Every structure is written in structure tokens, then in C-alpha cells.
Amino acid sequence: MEHQSPCPPTTVRRNPHRNARKTPSTLPPRDPPPSAPSTIAPFPIDELLHADPPPDPPRKPQSPSENLNVFLRIRPLDIVPPPKIGKNPSTAAVKKKGKGMSPNILKGRNKNVCLVMNDSSSVTLSAPISALESKRAKSEVYDGFSHVFPSDSIQKEVYERVMDPLVEGFMEGKSALLVALGPTGSGKTHTMFGCPRDPGMVPRALQKIFSHSNESGDSHPSRSYYLSMFEIYSEWGKGERILDLSPNGVELSLQQSSVKGLQEVMVCNLTVAESLIAHGMLKRATAATNANNQSSRSQCIINIRNDLRNFDGKKEFLSSGAVLTIADLAGAEKARKTGNQGTRLLESNFINNTSMVFGHCLRSLLEHQKNPKKPLQKHCKNSLLTRYLREYLEGKKRMTLILTVKPGEDDYLDTSFLLRQASPYMKIKYSNLEELPNFPSLKRSTTHSGSEHLKRRKFNGSDSSLVNAVKNDNDEVDGNHTSEKEAKYEKLQQKANASPKSGRSAHMSMERLEDLHTEAQRARNEKIMLGFAKALWNVLKEYKQKLTESDKDAEKLRDALRKEKASVSKLEKELEELRSCCSCCKHPSIDDSPPKQEPFSGFSATGPLMKPSVQESTKCVDMVHEYNNISMEYHSDTLESRTSTDVSKEWAKHGGEGFGANNILLDEISSGDNVGSFSSPMVLGTVHTEENEMIGQMVDSFSNIKVDEECKSFPFGGECLPRQTEVKLADQKGENLPVNNHRVADLEETNIQGQHLVSTIAGLSGSEHSDNIDRSSPPTSNSGENEKVVTCNTQNSSLSMDGEIMKGNPKVSSSISKSHPSVVKHDGLADECKVREPSVKIQSPASKPPNCRKSRTRKLLPASAMLLKEFNSLEIDAENAKENKGKSSTKGMERSQGSISLLRLLNSNVNR
Ligand SMILES: Nc1ncnc2c1ncn2[C@@H]1O[C@H](COP(=O)(O)OP(=O)(O)OP(=O)(O)O)[C@@H](O)[C@H]1O
């Protein structure tokens, strides 16, 4: 026997150390009785090492409300240490010590263990001397494990105690989770997967599952299993990642508590399942460290899902949708011990962090169960592993822990840390989970849609998990009612726990819980809908405001439109009034509408005669000119001094039969050559019927005159077309001159002068433009060319018609061409003459006949007025004149009287 150094005084550390616990007074029968805590005695290492393992205690039935199962497995010490990776002194020392030593020697060297199994549920951890700060011995007893597997335990034993119950439950439809937890190199992977010669939990579970299927024969032909496998790792410390370890697996992401896109491979037999597991293990990230030559660098999770595809409708298969999850976590490690650097060190940080978060979740659950008023901390969100295992870590589903430790002195700190951390977990309780096989949600369906599956898993827990679920919902809904509902749930839970575990009472309790859960869901939905309604209300308010603004704008536009309409109507009314006024007055400058073509009814017809168009009048004048074919030539100097009698005589001398005042009147109109030159309605409109008859007689006399020049239209009716006047500018030699606006204006002036000249010819005096007018050329007809040229020489006061040109004087030629013949019917005339459509042509591109006509209209208007004045001023009939002075109050009457006087004068001349 090797020499043993004297052990320091031993202090039994109670487990858990916070709560004083009675030191185990008795050890298993085969174990040597522990020494008293206060006694100083040599540590029975040899006895412990060589002692037979304690007999298995009677297998306790899985109580529905039992605590979390925490198993402890002690790894054998006689393991060849891994090769040296770094220059870690401890590793080098191990290598040095172990070099060339046989396993026995190693075993003997590792007699200095720190962990001794007291019984099947407790161990004693003794601090080695090197780890003691003082020379006082320090021992801690950890009790309460579901089972402690000694170092020489075999896989089968572990499986039967740990895994087999879970598999059976899984086959019955209960989901389960087994998590291996422990420091690096403690045997987690060995326990879970084992080796071909000594398979671990996973292979054995698969064997059990498929052997069960084979044994059951055709009883469950529709049962099928799906296997999925993935790992959570961290590469270069850049966060956590998920990799699908199934063939063709890719990187995945975690959504809520499910891995999105995780491949589930349906396994039909054990061989396929084992090959998948082997493939996944090869794919899993491992690396050699000083602590483990094949250290796992990721958290590996295996899911075996039991799916029942067919349902016969008679028998309920509670195993439907159950998932058996096996998690092999990477062991916490210390850099000092592993010698990790770089990537390995980053991996160590990730591994240690995940282990820490995992422990925090379980601790929070424990504290929450101890004090329900203490909220459940949401540590699960701090790592992918805990997020994925959230339901388990929140106590909603049963889980099982298997702790693996190394008993050597060198592993004291790791072992101590794990036991300190995990031993309290044994107090986590799962209440009444197993009493809910008839839970309605589990019975309802055997298909596995995602939501139903989650729902089923949610209710497939204990009362506490349900209560927690409802509490969480309530916390999210309304914090004010949380405490109240929590109290309800607590009461209900206490009642359920206190009540006999009969199926009926449990069922009733669950119904009440479900009602409460439904109520909470309803409240949550109401809150969501309330928020949605508020948002919708705000949006509608905004729309309403915009709509109101739009209505206001529209109203403004309507008002503006109304105003515009009113103004338009007002303007129209004014325009109508003006039109009516114009129609009453028949002012030629306003009424430019084309003349109504009324059948000629003779001068006796009052209607057409009363309202002839000025154009018609003008044309009529031209036509009368042509009828008479009169060519006149007068000198202005002689015209001034002539009286009416002289004019008559002169007119008679020229043989102007039928040429009288009427002709002068018409000539006045024609000289204007347009509408504005003579206000015929004003003059003729007031002519008495007798006068019209007289005029008719005059025209009858005119009808005897041979028409040698085409007329344009008859002034008082008949068919006529707009006359076109062709204006030619010619020099004294008769050559055409360029015409511009100024020339045209001159022409207009010339026309005015010609107008007055003609008026003077008729024996009227007072023409302001008659001065210096030389009518040297007698009027001649030019019927052959259908053109009448009126030549006016303003400079020498000479005017000639029909192309007579005074030498040395510039002249203006106005030619009226009738290019479109038309037939004019004269009711009062015997002749029927062919006329061409009058056309006005300015023989210059710069000339603009329409504008010229308009301007001429305005310029000729004073001439006509003057002519009327002259008419009225004639004292042909003294009596009439006296009467006019006394009676006439209107210009129309004066004009009428003047016209009568003129006509009488003309008539008298004719009679002569
Ligand atoms: N009970 C055991 N019996 C025999 N060998 C064991 C036992 N437990 C562990 N080993 C051996 O110890 C070594 C390390 O074990 P394992 O790889 O399982 O440790 P681990 O806890 O998984 O380490 P890590 O956390 O680094 O992955 C392996 O070679 C394994 O074969």
C-alpha cells in the first residue's frame, strides 16, 4: 500500500451549504461508516476505492410531483491523460507523472481523489491539501441526487436509471430532455454517445425505441420516428450559430424556440438512426485540448420525435408528437487547465457563458418556485441553447440532468463548482405533470401541426408550468391584474396539490386552469385589439381632418364659381342689353353680323326697307351707280358755290335723268364703300312710307337705265354675297404703286373725299373735303372688265372714275372686281342682272382689307352724319323746315324731313 500523507482535519460541508443539512449518519451498508465530522481520522480512500458499489436501491416510481432528476456520474480515474497540447505546467506535470506508468500506477497515483461516493444519492467532496488555504480539512457532502454512478459504472446501468424512464415516457407520448452537464473531459460525450463497444444513452435509447416497435409488431404500424441533430457553436467568438448536423445540413437560425429549417430525417430502423448519429458526431465541432483530446466545442442537441401518422379513431396514442431531446453540452473549462489560446479560448468563453446562462435559468426557476412572487428571470434569452430549451428551463416540461465529474484532486475545483452549482437544482419540482395524460389538448388530435404541437407541449407540463404560462401571459397583458390572478393561481395550485391525486380532481383543476388561461388569452386579445383600434382611430381622425380641409377648399371654390357665374351672367345680360340696343339702333359699327338676305319686295315694302343692312345699302348704291352708268366730273372750286338749284341744273346738264338726291344718297353710301359710311337704318328707317314710294318710283325710273356694269347686290334685298374691293395704287401714269397701311389710309381719306365730292355733286354744300378735288375725268363705264375704278387725286383736287388719270397727279385706283357672279332678282325692276360676287383685293401683300374696311367705317361716319346735317339744313321747303324747327325733337325726324325734302327736290327735277 502506498504511503498516504496525513489527512488534514475534515469538515463536512453540508449540501446545500446555505441550508444546514443533517450530516448523513448512515452510509450504504457496504460503505464504511463515515467518520464523525468533528473527528480527525484518516480518509478511507482505499476502502472507498476498493469497496463494491452500493446495491441499487429499489427503483422509485416516478412520482408526478417529484423533483428534477439530477444524476451524478463519476468518471474513472484510470484514464490515460490526453497528450500535451500546450506548455501548461499542470499538463506537463501530468504528462511527466504519467509517462511510462501503467494504468495501475495511474490508479495508485490518483488515489488522492477528492470525491467519494457516500451512497447512491450522495457524495463527499474533499478538498486536497494543495487547494486548502489553511491546513484544516474541508469536506462537503452533497446529497439528494437521483442516483450517483460510481466511477466503475457501466453504460447500461446509467441507461437503465437515467434514460430508460425517459424513453418509456417518450414512447407513451411524454416529451423529455436529458442534459449532460459537467466540466470538460468529465465524460459527458462518453455518457451520451459512448463508443461502439460501449454505447451510450443515445444508441441505447434508439435501440429501445426500435426494439419496442419490433416487439409491438403490428400494434403501432403507423408510428414513425424522426431524428434531427444540430449543434450550437461559436466561431471566432462571432456570436452563436446553429449548424444542422444531419446530412446536407446547413446553418440554421432560431426563431422563438424552434430551429427554422432543421431537417428531420425519418428513421425506420436502428441502423439508419445510428448512421445518422454517427454522421452527426463526425460533423460536430471537436478539438483537442489539454483537458480532452477530443473536446466538444459546441452544444449538441439530438431530437427524436415520435409521430403517429394514422389514427384508427378507437385508441388514443398519447405518444403522438412527443419529442425526446438529448443535449450534450460542451464542458466548462478553465484556460489555465486547458491551455486554450486563440480560437480555443474564444470557444471556451462561449462554452462557459452558455453553461453559466443555463445555470442561471435553472436557478431562477428554483427561486421562482420557492417564492412565486419572485418573477421568473428571463435568462433564457441570453443564449441560443437556453432559448431553444426555454420550456424546459421554465419548468413547463420535465427535464433530467446528468452531471459528470472527475474525482481526481486536480479536478477538485471543477467538481466543486459543478456540485455547488447543480446540487440546488434537485429542489426544482415538477408537480402533477404525469397526472395529465387525459389533458384535453393532448387528446384532441394526433396530428402534429406546428401550432398544435406547441400548444400541446405547453400544456403537457405540470400545473406549475401551466400557471407560469398563464402568469407570463398575464404579465404581458396587464401588470395590474397579475398579482390578483397570481393569487388565484396559487390558490388553485395549492388546492390541486392538496387534493387527492385522483384523475377527476386533477382534471377539474386543469379545466379551471384552462378557463383561466382562456380568460387571460381573451384579455390579451382585447388589449391587442384595443391598441389596433386606437391606431385605426388616429388614422381615421387624420383622414377626417384632411377631408374637412378638402371640403372647405371645395366650398371656397364653389363660392368663387358662383361669383364667376354671377359676373358672367351679369356680363351676358349687359351684352344682351347692348345687343338689344344695337338691334334697336342697328348701328353698323356694332352689328357686324352678316345681313339677312331677304327677298326684294320693292321700295314700298316697309319691313325690308326699314331695316336694310348697311352693306346691302352700300352695294345697292354701287349697283345704282352702275345702273345709271353715270360718270361725273366736277371741280371742287365750282362745287362750293353751287346751290341746290345749281346742282340740279348741273346734274340736268350732264343728262342725269333719274339721278337725284336719292342717287346722291346712294352715292354717299357707295363712296363709303363699306358699312360705316352711311347709317342707312337711321336715315331710311325713319323715312315715311310715302317717301319709300317715291324712292320706289325713282328706282323704277332707274330701272330703265341699261346696266352696263355688274352690280354687286341690291341694297334692299336680293341675293348678294360680300363684296370684295380691290384697291390699286397707281401713279399718274397709271402704274401700280405699292400699298401699305398708310397708303390704304390715304385711300380711305380719298374715299371720304370722294364721298363728299359726290355729295357735292348732288348739290349739297359744306363738304369739308370737297376742296381741291378735281374731277377732271368724266365717269366712264368699264363693263367689259367688270371693274370700276374710282380715281381720286387729292393733290390737284381731281377725281376720276373708270380709270381716268390726271397727269402729274398721283392717283389712287380702287377697283371693284366681281369675280363671283350671282343673280339678283328685283321685284320692282324689270331687269335681271348678273352680278359677280364682290371681292375686295388689296394689290399689295401688306394691305389688309378687313382692317381697312373697319377703319374706313369709322372715318366715314362723320361724313354721313355731315351729309345728314346737310340734308336737314336744306331749306327746300320752307314750311317743312319751319315745322321741323318747331316739331322735330329727334334727329330721326329731322333726317326724315330732310330726306323728304331731298326726295321732293329730286322728284321735281325728274318731273322737269
Ligand atoms: N465512464 C467512462 N469510462 C471510460 N472512459 C470514459 C468515461 N468517461 C469518460 N471517459 C473518457 O474520457 C475522455 C473524455 O471524455 P468525454 O470526451 O466524454 O468528456 P466530455 O465531458 O465530453 O469533454 P468535453 O466537454 O470536452 O467534450 C474520453 O476519452 C472518454 O472515453
| Mean pLDDT over the full length of the chain | 62
Average pLDDT over residues 106-111: 44
Cell 454505447, residue? 199
Which residue type does 208 have? K
Query: How far is ligand 1, taken at its centre, from the CA of residue 297, in Å?
Result: 14
pLDDT of residue 81: 54
Sheet holding 139-143, edge to edge: 12-13, 139-143, 122-126, 115-119
- Average pLDDT in the 300-320 region? 69
Task: Give the model's confidence band at 893: pLDDT under 50 very low, under 70 low, under 90 confident, else very high.
Answer: low
- Dump the DSSP string for 54-87: PPPPPPPP--TTPBPEEEEEEPPS--PPPPP-S-
What pLDDT is attached to residue 96?
Answer: 32
Give the three cell numbers for residue 906.
329730286
| Residue where a domain terminates, one of 500, 516, 541 | 541
**What CA–CA distance (Å, rounded) separates 431 from 493?**
9
Position 380 in a domain: no
Amino acid in position 429? K
Q: Measured over all CA atoms, what is the biggest interatomic distance in the chain, rounded to whole angstroms?
A: 188
Which of 79, 148, 231, 298 is the pocket-test mutation for ligand 1 (most atoms within 8 Å of CB)? Answer: 79
Ligand 1 center to residue 81 CA distance, Å? 11
**Mean of pLDDT values over 613-629:** 50
Which atom of ligand 1 is least distant from the CA of 294? Answer: 17
Residues 662 and 755 grouped into a single domain: yes
The highest-confidence range among 126-130, 740-744, 856-860, by mean pLDDT, is 126-130
* Mean pLDDT in residue range 595-602: 43
- Residues near 500 by beta carbon (within 8 Å), at least 6 away in sequence: none
pLDDT of 512 over the 50 cut: yes
Per the domain annotation, does 823 fall within a domain? yes
Expressed in angstroms and rounded, the spacing between residue 201 Cα and the centre of ligand 1 is: 14
pLDDT of residue 67: 82
| Ligand 1 centroid – CA 286 distance (Å) | 13
Q: What is the pLDDT of residue 335?
A: 74
In the predicted model, what is the mean pLDDT of residues 356-384?
Answer: 88
Residues at CB less than 6 angstroms from ligand 1: 75-76, 79, 182, 184-190, 292, 294-296, 330-331, 404
Atom of ligand 1 nearest to the CA of 295: 26
- Ligand 1, atom nearest to 286 Cα: 27
Q: How far is the CA of 223 from the centre of ligand 1 (A)?
A: 34
pLDDT at 697 (0 to 100): 58
Residue 405 alpha carbon to ligand 1 centre in Å: 10
* Ligand 1 atom showing the smallest separation from residue 190 Cα: 18
Whether 612 and 535 map to the same domain: the answer is no
Pocket test for ligand 1, best of 72, 75, 179, 405 (most atoms within 8 A of CB): 75
Mean pLDDT, range 335-361, rounded to an integer? 83
627/302: higher pLDDT: 302
pLDDT value at 435 more than 80: no
Distance 246 CA to ligand 1 centre (A): 23
Residue 646 clears pLDDT 90, i.e. is over it: no
Give the mean pLDDT of 29-35. Answer: 37
Residue 746 buriedness (CB in 10 A; 0-12 / 13-18 / 19+): middle
Cβ-contact 754, 811 below 8 angstroms: no
Cell of 493: 395550485
Residue nearest to atom 26 of ligand 1 (CA): 295
Residue 865 lies in a domain: yes
- The phi, psi pair for 767, rounded to 5°, reads -75, 125
Q: Which amino acid is at 392?
A: Y
Q: Pick 122 or 307 by higher pLDDT.
A: 122
Mean pLDDT of 523-531: 85
pLDDT for 548: 93
Task: Report percent pLDDT > 90 for the chain.
Answer: 13
Closest ligand 1 atom, CA of 153? 1
656 and 536 housed in the same domain: no
Confidence bin at 223 (pLDDT 50/70/90): confident
Residue environment code for 363-396, b if the CB has 16+ CB neighbours within 10 A, otherwise e? bbbbebbeebeeebeebbebbbbbbbbbbbbbbb
Asked if residue 58 belongs to a domain, the reply is: no
Nearest CA residue ID for atom 9, ligand 1: 187
Highest mean pLDDT pick, 38-52, 265-279, 672-686, 828-842:
265-279
pLDDT in the model for residue 133? 61
485 and 624 together in one domain: no
pLDDT at 625 over 80: no
Owner of C-alpha cell 346751290: 643
202-206, 384-388, 412-416, 439-443: least confidently modelled range: 439-443
CA 871 to chain centre: 85
Of 87-91, 397-401, 759-763, give the range with the top mean pLDDT: 397-401
Ligand 1 atom nearest the C-alpha of 351 is: 25
Q: What is the pLDDT of residue 579?
A: 87
Q: How far does the centroid of ligand 1 lie from the alpha carbon of residue 119, in Å?
A: 23
Residue 390 lies in a domain: no
- Ligand 1 centre to CA of 191 (Å) is 7
Shortest-distance atom of ligand 1 to CA 328: 22
Separation in Å, CA 596 to CA 37, 820, 827: 143, 19, 17
pLDDT band at 83, cuts 50/70/90?
low
In angstroms, what is the span from residue 571 Cα to ligand 1's centroid?
A: 108
Atom 4, ligand 1: residue with shortest CA distance: 76
Ligand 1 centre distance from Cα of residue 184 (Å): 8
pLDDT at 111: 60
Q: How many angstroms is it from 429 CA to the middle of ligand 1?
A: 30
Asked if the model's pLDDT at residue 699 lies above 90, the reply is no
Decide which of 252 and 586 is more confident: 252
The closest alpha carbon to 307, from 395, 228, 201, 203, belongs to: 228
- Amino acid 346: pLDDT: 82
- Tell whether 669 and 812 lie within a shared domain: yes
> What are the two backbone dihedrals, phi and then psi, of residue 677, each rounded to the nearest 5 degrees?
-70, -25
Range of the domain at 492: 458-541
523 and 625 co-located in one domain: no
**Amino acid 2: pLDDT:** 39
pLDDT, greater one: 229 or 741: 229
Q: Of 759, 799, 778, whose CA–CA distance to 670 is shortest?
A: 759
Is 50 exceeded by the pLDDT of residue 684?
no
754 and 893 housed in the same domain = yes
Which ligand 1 atom sits closest to the C-alpha of 291?
Answer: 26
Nearest CA to ligand 1 atom 8: 187
Cis-peptide, bond into residue 61, ω within 30° of zero: no
Does residue 816 sit within a domain? yes
Ligand 1, atom 31, residue with closest C-alpha: 190
pLDDT of residue 349: 85
The residue out of 502, 520, 541 marking a domain boundary is: 541
Residue of minimum CA distance from atom 20 in ligand 1: 185
Given 499, 521, 541, which residue is the final one in a domain? 541
Same domain, 791 and 884: yes
Q: Which of 276-285, 736-745, 874-883 has the highest mean pLDDT?
A: 276-285
Per-residue pLDDT at 179 = 93
pLDDT of residue 423: 87
The highest-confidence range among 87-91, 197-201, 669-673, 847-851, by mean pLDDT, is 197-201
- The model's pLDDT over 147-191, given as tens digits with 9 standing for 90+, comes to 999 988 999 999 999 999 999 888 888 888 999 999 988 899 999
Would the pLDDT of 637 be above 50?
no
Alpha carbon of 583 to ligand 1 centroid (Å): 123
Flag whether pLDDT at 42 surpasses 60. no
231 band by pLDDT with thresholds 50, 70 and 90: very high
pLDDT of 521 > 90? The answer is: no
* pLDDT number for residue 895: 52
pLDDT for res 883: 52
Q: What is the ipTM of this complex?
A: 0.98
Query: Are residues 645 and 782 part of one domain?
Result: yes
pLDDT tens by residue, 549-579: 999 999 999 999 999 999 999 999 999 999 8
372 inside domain: no
Q: How far is the CA of 404 from the centre of ligand 1 (A)?
A: 9
Asked whether residue 729 falls in the same domain as residue 868, the answer is yes
Question: Which residue has cell 319709300?
Answer: 692
In this structure, the residue with its CA closest to atom 16 of ligand 1 is 187
Residue 444 has pLDDT above 70, yes or no: no
Sign of the torsion formed by the C-alpha atoms of 200, 203, 206 and 207: negative
> Is 416's pLDDT higher than 70?
yes
Give how many domains the chain has, as a whole number.
2
Task: Calculate mean pLDDT across residues 111-119.
Answer: 84
Place of cell 415516457: 169
Of 370-379, 621-630, 700-709, 756-765, the range with the highest mean pLDDT is: 370-379
Same domain, 526 and 639: no
39 in a domain, yes or no? no
Alpha carbons 273 and 266: distance in angstroms, whole number: 9
Are 774 and 684 found together in one domain? Answer: yes
Q: Average the pLDDT over each of 126-130, 425-429, 518-522, 884-888 and give the range with the smallest value.
A: 884-888
Q: What is the DSSP letter of 685?
A: T
